[in-house]
Chain A
Amino acid sequence: MSNNTFTRRGVLRTGAIAGAGVALPTIFTASSAAAYTNEPMGSSVTLGFNVPQTGPYADEGADELRAYELAVEHLNGGGDGGMLNTFSSDALQGNGILGKKVEYVTGDTQTKSDAARASARSMIEKDGAIMVTGGSSSGVAIAVQGLCQEAGVIFMAGLTHSNDTTGKDKKANGFRHFFNAYMSGAALAPVLKQLYGSDRNAYHLTADYTWGWTQEESIVAATEALGWNTVNTVKTPLSATDFSSYIAPVMNSGADVLVLNHYGGNMVNSLTNAVQFGLREKVVNGKNFEIVVPLYSRLMARGAGENVKGIHGSTNWHWSLQDDASKAFVKSFGTKYGFPPSQAAHTVYCQTLLYADAAQRAGTFNPCGIAEALEGFEFDGLGNGKTLYRAADHQCFKDVLVVRGKENPQSEFDLLEVVEVTPAEQVTYEPDHPMFAGGALGECNPGS
């Protein structure tokens, strides 16, 4: 006699176990080994846009994000194409990259290295980003660049001005389109000499971190070569919001030029304090007292308002440039968002296009292939004139703009005017220049 005690529960249980047993071998078939990290398998490719959405550089971050979205739209063939039409390389067809639709993920760096790396790692590990780009401060850019090198994806630096990004902390997987502190100094020096003469006493206020130091070093070197004398260099904490106590000593120091190595909110506050103290009306050693802000941006100029009038500085790009590429970019950005782009927006837009173009030309998303396509790449039509991506340190060499706060602005965006376009040759340096020495690119890392 058979012992038929089939209960409902028993049958279910046996069924479940059997099912799990059958399914088990399929579970353990790992996904096929990719040739490099996050090789895009489907019909789309994911880029990671890692920008500060909170914290002191949130304004720049928001503008960068707008430009990224615009770049993705243009790469996928939407909109009016922007600078794709003026770009000297015509590999990109407006059908994504290598025929794959471009998608993106965004993250918040909080302007903290830790948070930026966490966000970048989640893009790489979770969302399968093949390239990470962004950063509105050099510390973050350097930290994320290191991470991308380890993980085996390309990093296209956004707004980072420190010499170290392509100097002692350069990495084979990292590329920078933005200019750097050395270039600012080299571009500003001739203009300063012409305007203020070669017999000046400069006083530096410097944000107390890596970027501030490299900028101070660069400007001091450039101005001392003109014959200027450096009276004093004072470090100010990054978190400072009131600079009165730092400005007061300037008045009695015998200096006749104040150099503010500050960025973002720091610069807005220090410049405002300096103007409030009447520094600009002062006459020292028989000369008018002058203020110089080596790194300028329109967002900062807007923050400082009236105070920027007549103050000189350098910038990577400005929307009032009249070449075809800049006009095309300003037009498509303005159509979409209703106001002109900042230099941060411009540089990240270019970086996205440059990456896409390199992938298209290389015929692969392999970071090593892309690096090879970018190294020594010469291009034009992205708003900065002829530009070279130097192979030795992955830095772009292009013209640098010297700008001045406009006396009679026509609109709330029309705050800066271009005084001079310093040609690329004048700001080019040797890869082993002492300010950049000490690091090594290493080898490109394609990851797994």
Chain B
Amino acid sequence: MLGLNKKDSVLLLVVTLLAICAPFILNPFPTGSAMAQFNAGYPDLMQRFVIFGIFAIGFNILFGLTGYLSFGHAAFLGVGSYSAVWMFKLLSMNIIPAITLSVLVAGVFALLIGYVSLRRSGIYFAILTLAFAQMSFNLAYSVLTPITNGETGLQLALDDPRILDAAPANAGSLPYPSLFGFEMSDTYIMSAGAWQFQFSVGYYVCAIVLLVSFYLAMRLFRSPFGMMLRAIKSNQQRMNYTGLNARPYALAAFVISGMYAGLAGGLMASMDPLAGAERMQWTASGEVVLMTILGGAGTLIGPVLGAGFIKYFENIFSKINDNILHQWFAFMPDGIEDIMVTIVHPFIGKGWHLTLGILFMLVVTFLPGGLVEGGQRIGRLFRRRKTGRNDNADSTDSTKKPAE
């Protein structure tokens, strides 16, 4: 299907299905129940899952295939966001020109940074990209304030020109980003018994973009070009000796992955028309590295899983407070309840970093291949149980799993 082998087609189908049904899958608990705290099926977080998924897929094209560890990828995300918001301000609230520009600008920016940084490899490359990204952050934060609006972040204003758009009917309120009349913020809320499912236009736009970028990444992984990138990772020197120049390939991978980041940035601005400088900070760059490693570097689905994992913790665990804990443990006797709350307290609310850190450590220690390896192990366990002695075939099978 679509030029993919059977295994990849299945993977693509599974991802498609997951993306379509996400509002159901992520809302397993009835609204109003104690567990509703863990529901993630609201538009903002679903959009974030998908957008950071795209960001991580792009990062993985560079890091997973060529092995070049960029520590400045957030700069492209930020540049993409700024371009998109400027497009909303100047041209039109339609998201197509905005996203197109953000991809292009991020691409050009990546070409510049990549051209310089790729002269070095390993730790030097990482440091160079980090330096460029921090430079962009600091410029955006203060020096370039007329363009970026500094700390406050670039926002829409009532008196923006928006030359392509007709004057809004309601002059006192800001227009929303839209796709040919469909506003990104529109949400259809479906109640089914105790459950509530939210279907947001913005989320499905993001999901379609994710599927397209996932498909492209898949084709790229399987192409001769992808093979060349893997060659860079395994032994660049040997590649040079065979008469191949590695740098154009690496640069192409860098630009492509920068464009993915720009796409993610543009989408992010389309869902929520604001671009802040923090998006470019080194912590943001570090986050995408974590996502990729956590999910499984070099695998197709891994980065998307990693992105979801981290965003889930950031948004769900940080919102649990002591009050909610007391509700959870209310069934216990008073003394024990307080002790339980005291024990759990450091891991929730402001302690979400700690929980995430511990989980990250566990994953990296016990599953060096990331969450994907965890999935494979579980899968193998089941298959082994099913087929009994047929171990041999299975283990060879799993080594052929996508994209190692």
Contact = CB atoms under 8 A, between A and B. Distances in A.
A125 B188 CA distance: 12
Contacts of A31: 189, 191, 196
A23 B193 CA distance: 10
Contact of B315 (A69, A105, A118): A118
Interface string B163-198: 000000010111010000000010111111100101
Contacts of B48: 118
A106 interface: yes
A169 B192 CA distance: 41
B172 A210 contact: no
Interface residues of B, number: 49
Contact of B152 (A30, A125, A169, A443): A169
B42 A108 contact: no
A386 B111 CA distance: 60
Contact of B44 (A121, A150, A442): A121
Given A30-B188, A150-B185, A211-B151, A125 B274 contact: no
B149 to A, nearest CB: 8
A237 interface: yes
B151 A117 contact: no
A105 B278 contact: no
B352 interface: yes
Contacts of A29: 191
A153 to B, nearest CB: 13
Interface stretch (A139-147, A221-229, A292-300, A403-411): A139-147
B152 A53 contact: no
A275 interface: no
A443 B176 CA distance: 15
B349 interface: yes
B394 interface: no
A127 B274 CA distance: 22
Interface centre among A28, A53, A123, A139 (most CB of B within 10 A): A139
Contacts of A54: 350, 353
B157 interface: yes
A149 B274 contact: no
Interface in A170-189: 172
Nearest to B159: A440
A442 B158 contact: yes
Contacts of A440: 158-159
A259 B44 CA distance: 42
A64 interface: no
B142 interface: yes
Contact of A209 (B42, B45, B141): B141
B319 A209 contact: no
Interface in B22-56: 39, 42-45, 48
B155 interface: yes
Contacts of B153: 113, 139, 142-143
A126 B185 CA distance: 14
A172 B172 contact: yes
Contacts of A211: 151
A292 to B, nearest CB: 23
A139 B277 CA distance: 11
B43 to A, nearest CB: 6
B353 A113 contact: no
Interface string B243-281: 000000000000000000000000000001010101100
Contacts of B157: 439
Contacts of B145: 210
Nearest to A55: B350
B29 to A, nearest CB: 12
Given A31-B189, A122-B42, A125-B42, A143 B170 contact: no
Given A119-B318, A442-B173, A169 B353 contact: no
Contacts, number: 134
B189 A142 contact: no
A238 B156 CA distance: 25
B373 interface: no
B173 A169 contact: no
A143 B151 CA distance: 10
Nearest to A211: B151
B370 interface: no
A149 B272 CA distance: 12
A150 B152 contact: no
Contacts of A115: 278, 314
Interface centre among B141, B185, B278, B279 (most CB of A within 10 A): B278
A312 to B, nearest CB: 26
B279 A28 contact: no
B377 to A, nearest CB: 31
B355 interface: no
Contacts of A146: 155-156, 274
B398 interface: no
Given A112-B276, A139-B276, A237-B142, 19 more contacts: A30-B191, A54-B353, A108-B349, A108-B350, A113-B274, A114-B276, A126-B42, A138-B151, A143-B155, A146-B156, A146-B274, A149-B173, A150-B176, A209-B151, A211-B151, A235-B142, A238-B141, A442-B172, A442-B173
Interface of B: 39, 42-45, 48, 138, 141-142, 145, 150-153, 155-159, 170, 172-174, 176, 185, 187-193, 196, 198, 272, 274, 276, 278-279, 314-315, 318-319, 321, 323, 349-350, 352-353
Interface of A: 23, 26-31, 53-54, 58, 69, 104-108, 112-115, 117-119, 121-123, 125-126, 137-139, 142-143, 146-147, 149-151, 164, 169, 172, 208-211, 235, 237-238, 439-440, 442-443, 445
20 contacts: A108-B319, A108-B350, A108-B352, A113-B153, A115-B278, A119-B315, A122-B44, A122-B315, A123-B319, A138-B152, A139-B152, A143-B152, A143-B274, A146-B156, A150-B176, A169-B152, A172-B172, A209-B150, A237-B138, A440-B159
Task: Across the A-B interface, give the 7 residue pairs with the lowest CB-CB distance, nearest first.
Answer: A443-B172, A53-B350, A209-B151, A113-B276, A121-B44, A139-B151, A126-B42
